[in-house]
A and B are shown apart, each in its own frame.
Chain A
């Protein structure tokens, strides 16, 4: 299955990153390409990509208890984005793994670019909030 992994360090404490990661309503503030988010049932939400107001993309946010990972799965494209946070001194180490189904392999480079930029924006937003 095609995919990639990225990491970054953030000066914000882990709770600041945590709040952003667990609040889909704030995804548009840091996740590149997401314009609007609507909370559905608990643990589920729908997002609309930037420029596509008529293209709802239902998502699932779940937590993997064993590995303490936050997984956000797109219900349309089957792309899984898995986030992991760890304390790093006074700051936070953020790790993200993305896996795409074979039929979405052509989007690998694009996703890499989007997630890399989102990762940095997430870190910057958390730092600004702390």
Chain B
């Protein structure tokens, strides 16, 4: 039996005798021992001699096989014309043996694998791949053995496996968090703290970072109670009856979450079944454990302001966190949600100006996520979103945004909802979270048993056994109904009320004014009213009224304010309100009076005023609500509020134009045209110029139809009255200039900009940035690439001062494209740096800037820097909600890896990007992957990928004329990998001829076609015949050298 050693050095022995292995035989033995059994000769040759494919490679292999046979003998080897390998039955390999024993639970074998270096002294790609694969497999084995031991209650064993995992990967925080937790569970608290301190020091020394949330949570737990300051405990609640199994499930979820395995739990059940009570019990326990807790609820009374639930949740969380770092920009962004929220976090400056709604939405969502992460950095977090069946769509989207990022954070996110009616948005949210690898559990609350209901009844009223039984029968397992029925009987009723509404009427019916007024207003609100709002209601003898309301038992204290104990109770009172419009009007005005920001409550106030029949007062509030929704990036709500405003004032041209624009943002073209046309018809001809100008702006900024926009501006110019204000004149000229530059006559665009300059001496920063944006586009169209940088510096600075990220992005990214196309890579890098700096923190536009920077660095030969930037792009894309962005980033990273010579990595990344449907040229991506495969010595797979490229649907943006020479070049590389030098030369020559046909002086036109067709700045996909030809010339020269080798 031949015994092969790969760990700690390649060696072989037979019957206890060490065999002598010359270097070629040793290398071959190592490759074969990694996978005993027959292996394809071509593949083995390409693996060992990647630069010497074909006959030379085969000859090298023959020599090595001869040497190996001489060293180890015939019986261990398989050799044929096509294959070479080690006979599995005649060989033992220490690596395979160790892996097998580790998987079976042998810690000594696992330790040997961790401590023994695989294939030391071998720096080749194949050896590095083997080492990487071993580490990954071993890490998986260690983690699963640790988890299994933990499940079996063997904390000592679990810690032993986790310690090995930490030795294998000393900077893996999750592994260290597990180790700390398991040591503490095993009673070795000192060991846990030492392990935690060691990794904390290492993270600081090696990476300059603090431990992450999971590790900090594990350390806090190991230190024991009192290590973190406790939040104010929730108000003591009544005892919880029944629900033992559900509470246990919730506690398990909470325990896992606070250990850093964040997750989501959805609690479903009929109204009044005890969802809120169960969550309150969990919150009490979490509070005792030092968690940060925030609770919000969906509200569907009033105008349903966007993000209403988060306007409640986020401030609670913000109250508990330490001040964020000075350099963090997310606290200011939170000011969009609620101005006092930013102030509470120490930010007094307003958030940056609104540009595109989608940008606003993403920035705000990311800011809330940062708040949650900041809260979870020191202590575990419990987030509760109650009554999601009543939540507005934007709140649900934000729930999804946060929920998707919980894995790896000590956060438990609990949502509650009624079982009926169906709420597809909530179902979609859960399906989405589960599909993204977030742990999602569902708890369904059924009716309580008779015994449990009886216990509930006895806890609220001192009733005779017969009365208790009556209530139990009437309640049908519903604790809320049982509570209210018990109260009614205790108050003197002879029988339990027929339903909850009757029970509530029994409790509240005896109230005298003004307490009755107060409870009705509170019901109309459908949410808690703050102390300030209660004060603004101007209720006579307020203290007495509040006391009487509290005495009903239907309402409780909430901070300094009041709220119904359950939404159903408020619904019951509201159902009896009928057409009492004055209650809603009184409520609306009080809410507005007490609000810190009128925009924040505008939708709610408008909704109440509408219900009160006061559309005359509601109209202006709907407008304010629409502007506020727009500032949050909540365009569906903005459109709905503008529509309400139009309903209140149908003759207003401005309102119709706003509504039209909102439809434009939503991509509802027919609705946009309908509202715009309706607005135009309301105007006399001499005033229509403004409407046409606004149409032009929408068409060039919102829906990006430059030709249609130009037509609108031309119409606006024709209708412009002689006494028109200069600002309108400038708007029209500027808009038309951009349209001409982008899709019309660029020279005419430049002339229009001159007209603007003559009208405005010392333009403000926004106009200066708009002018630069159009000028850069004109210069590109005219092929005057080199002039772009100076314009960009001027315009970029103006855009920054005007806080117009969208303009800064457009100016800089186009300049990167232009300078790249001009071959000025140093200038392109400067522009890319400026683009990244201008967009930092706004991921959706930062990603293409990072892609551009990576590409330029790659072209400059700075591959390590390029790989780092591509990695940053990928990490940020994965953080976004968009699988499309992640797929695109993987594609970009694949191209950068390919250029850096990391062919296997490139092939993997491109394969994933293609499978995920990255929005790139699919044939081009397949050809890039084929190149990576050919360069990795896998010519057959490469050829199959070329075939797939030819079978892909080709779009105009794919520029098939550029794919043809690319395909020929990749075929050349495949031929080279197969050792067929003659065919390689022919294919590369074919590619040269193809590119030579496309060398044209008018690169500007070509570039613009790229720009328009690809839908994103074409830096990564830029087609450059000159550069392709230079690369091919170098490859042909290399081929010549290969051919000359005897």
Contact = CB atoms under 8 A, between A and B. Distances in A.
Decide whether A and B assemble into one complex: yes
Interface of A: 13-15, 18-19, 22-25, 39, 41-43, 61-63, 65, 68, 70, 85, 87, 129
Contacts of B953: 63, 65, 68
Given A19-B967, A63-B956, A42 B1006 contact: yes
Contacts of B959: 42
B947 A15 contact: yes
A13 B994 contact: no
Across the A-B interface, the 9 shortest Cβ-Cβ residue pairs: A15-B950, A18-B950, A22-B960, A63-B954, A23-B964, A25-B997, A65-B953, A42-B1009, A14-B950
A61 B955 CA distance: 11
Given A19-B967, A22-B963, A39-B961, A14 B947 contact: yes
B954 A22 contact: yes
A87 B960 contact: no
Contacts of A13: 947
Given A22-B960, A39-B997, A63-B960, A15 B1009 contact: no
Chain A interface main SS type: mixed
Contacts of A43: 956, 961
A68 B922 CA distance: 14
Contacts of A85: 950
A63 B1013 CA distance: 14
B1028 to A, nearest CB: 15
Contacts of A24: 961
Contacts of B968: 19
A15 B961 contact: no
B949 interface: yes
Contacts of B946: 15
B235 interface: no
A42 B950 contact: no
A45 to B, nearest CB: 9
A125 B994 CA distance: 16
Nearest to B959: A42
A22 B1005 contact: no
Contacts of B1009: 41-42
Interface in B364-392: none
Given A23-B961, A42-B961, A63-B956, A15 B1005 contact: no
B647 interface: no
B951 interface: yes
A25 to B, nearest CB: 5
B922 to A, nearest CB: 11
A70 B923 CA distance: 15
B955 A63 contact: yes
B1005 A41 contact: yes
B998 interface: yes
Contact of A15 (B960, B967, B994, B998): B967
Contacts of A18: 950, 967
Contacts of B994: 23, 25
A116 to B, nearest CB: 24
7 contacts: A15-B950, A15-B971, A19-B967, A22-B960, A22-B963, A41-B1009, A87-B951
Contacts of A68: 951, 953
B759 to A, nearest CB: 35
Contacts of B951: 14, 68, 87
B964 A62 contact: no
Nearest to A25: B997
B733 to A, nearest CB: 29
A18 B946 CA distance: 11
A25 B950 CA distance: 18
A24 B997 CA distance: 10
A23 B637 CA distance: 50
Given A65-B953, A65-B955, A68-B953, 20 more contacts: A14-B947, A14-B950, A14-B951, A18-B950, A22-B960, A22-B961, A23-B961, A24-B961, A39-B961, A39-B997, A39-B1000, A41-B1009, A42-B956, A42-B1006, A43-B956, A43-B961, A63-B956, A63-B960, A85-B950, A87-B947
Contacts of B1006: 41-42
A47 to B, nearest CB: 14
Residue from the set A15, A41, A70, A87 with the largest chain B CB neighbour count within 10 Å: A15
A122 to B, nearest CB: 14
A12 to B, nearest CB: 11
A41 B961 CA distance: 11
Nearest to B947: A15
Interface string B932-967: 000000000000001101110111100111011001
